[in-house]
Structure 1
């Protein structure tokens, strides 16, 4: 078992450009999944925005990003990032979730999602928003 943390940056329409920029700076590979790709288009103009994206480099660089949909509040100064905890074992992620959830506000319950065997989001009592999930490969 292993767990990693990754900075998860939040944007409003600029995630793909940011990911491409970070790839140009740090090298590596961009993966970008759109709202259309996962069948979650609620506003047609947002269909090609990023619901899940990352840059991973052979040098160990890793950053994640997504475009917060217009149906959710977003302020670049107050919620520009999440801490993402990704693991490969559902029991381990579930145990970490239970501990983090104490005294937290659950934003999205830990449950299976279209892109991961488990995915959940919460804001802890210190105001830090955490995303926990079980890694699953994306095959475009």
Structure 2
């Protein structure tokens, strides 16, 4: 079976971000650090995440720490994650949680011209979430 999972290279805070997402979306977080791995040709900081995957909850995401010299905080609209809660109430609760925890509302959650309810929020880690409830 073919599947696709977003992978985000976080700027050194992958553990914090993915543990937070586990609290918000549920599921299981499988996390592997560089400790005990063979020599990678560079010295990662202690606790750096080589790979992690959040699965079995409301979202499936993968990621790790971006250890490159040009690593910078996440921002902008080059990518976003679209979530589609089952009800308007679930969507409002998610947006409330993300904004209460330090995120910013980018587009109010309301009925869109195409008939769905839609809004955008950037969480405290710089990840842009598009929230859409179909035909609500």
TM-score, L = length of structure 1: 0.46
The structure with the greater share of residues assigned to strand is 1
User: Which of the two has higher C-alpha Rg?
Assistant: 2
> Higher relative contact order at CA 8 Å, sep ≥6: structure 1 or structure 2?
1
